[in-house]
Structure 1
Amino acid sequence: MPNDSTTASVKDIRKFAIIQFVITFAFLAFVFWMFSGTDADYPPIWLIVVMMAAIAVGAFFSERVWLTGTPLDPEDSADTNQLLALEAYANQTVRKLIYSEAPLILAVLICFVGSYGGWPVLIAALPGLAVQAWETWPHLRNTSMSAAILESRSADSQLVENFVRS
């Protein structure tokens, strides 16, 4: 049975994705400004490759989050399954955020440790924020992939329909 006090709605999940994107963007912009932007030496290619690889690994793990979902019980009521599906999708969204955020934190740490100014943040921000937006926004692809696992035992989650309707 879903926990009514923590059950997310479609609107809550969308708000969460937008707020986290804006907070991440603002934080990266602040770090870029704090380290005087591009007034330092450009980082070596190997460091750029490491940052891009970290973003790729984060995207890989984000893509695998939906595979860890537990199928819904077809014996439960339709309302219960809808609430459980939204709760599962919200949990998956948080995990995807963590996986896509970690490489950006790595870029911030490189700014603090290295002498490259804001370059690491600038280099990692565009692909990193693109991955974060793609992985956390509840578009048709993400909701369909999550619904496929949740409905694998023939329970109807109405997950895709709930996001399309609202």
Structure 2
Amino acid sequence: MPSAEYDATPKEVRNFSFLQVGLTGGFLVLLFFMLGGSDADYPPIWLAVLLVVLIGVGAFFAERVWLSAEPLSPDGDPRDLRGEAIGVFAGQTVRKLVFCEAPLIFAVLVAFIGDFGGWPLVIAGFPGLAVLAWETWPSLRNTSMTAAMLDSQGAESHLVESFLDT
């Protein structure tokens, strides 16, 4: 039986996701203006494509995180199973955050090292924030995929209901 990675509530997971998307967006906007905005030359096409491809690679790995959930034991206490399921989902949210943030950090490095102003942040920032929000928000889709893995041996985690109730 997997142990809960985090002791969290559905509200805390939502707040974490919202906070991360907001902080990342605010950080990218701040850096964009700090680096001169769009006054510099647009980066070469190969670099723009590389930044977007890295966002796609991060999304690919984030999309596979839910597969790492081990099934819950069907003979556990229902309250404990529900708490464990939320903890596992919270841990998956953190891992998804790492996969989605890594390409954005690379874009920040490119913006500082290269002479492209804030363009790398614009190129990677918009799709990167969209992927970050899509992957980390506890939507019906995300909770259902994790619940399917946790409940695959007959347990009733009620993960989806936990996020719908609050």
TM normalised by structure 1 equals: 0.96
Residue 140 of structure 1 is matched in structure 2 by 140
Name the SS for the 1:73 alignment partner.
coil
Q: Structure 2 CA distance, aligned partners of 1:2 and 1:83?
A: 10
Question: How far off is 1:30 after superposition?
Answer: 1.1
Residue 12 of structure 1 is matched in structure 2 by 12
Q: Structure 2 CA distance, aligned partners of 1:2 and 1:122?
A: 40
Question: How far off is 1:32 after superposition?
Answer: 0.4
Name the SS for the 1:41 alignment partner.
coil
Question: How far off is 1:108 after superposition?
Answer: 0.2
Point out 4+ residue stretches in structure 1 off by more than 6 angstroms: none
Q: Is 2:66 the partner of 1:80?
A: no
Question: How far off is 1:2 after superposition?
Answer: 5.8
Counterpart AA for 2:60: F
Q: Structure 1 CA distance, aligned partners of 2:60 and 2:122?
A: 22
Counterpart AA for 1:23: L
Counterpart AA for 2:93: T
Q: Structure 2 CA distance, aligned partners of 1:30 and 1:110?
A: 16
Q: Structure 1 CA distance, aligned partners of 2:3 and 2:78?
A: 12
Counterpart AA for 2:13: I
Residue 106 of structure 2 is matched in structure 1 by 106
Q: Structure 2 CA distance, aligned partners of 1:155 and 1:126?
A: 39
How many residues are paired up? 165
Contact 1:2-1:83 at 8 Å conserved across structures: no
Counterpart AA for 2:164: V
Counterpart AA for 2:85: A
Residue 152 of structure 2 is matched in structure 1 by 152
Counterpart AA for 1:72: L
Residue 35 of structure 1 is matched in structure 2 by 35
Percentage of identical aligned residues: 52
What are the residue-to-residue correspondences of 1:36-55 with 2, within 5 Å? 36-55=36-55
TM normalised by structure 2 equals: 0.96
Contact 1:65-1:92 at 8 Å conserved across structures: yes
Name the SS for the 2:134 alignment partner.
helix
Q: Structure 2 CA distance, aligned partners of 1:163 and 1:41?
A: 46
1:133-157 deviations in Å (ceiling 9; x for gaps): 0000000000000000000010000
Name the SS for the 2:128 alignment partner.
helix
Contact 1:69-1:146 at 8 Å conserved across structures: yes
Q: Structure 2 CA distance, aligned partners of 1:151 and 1:99?
A: 25
Unaligned residue ranges in structure 2 (runs of 5+): none
Contact 1:81-1:156 at 8 Å conserved across structures: yes
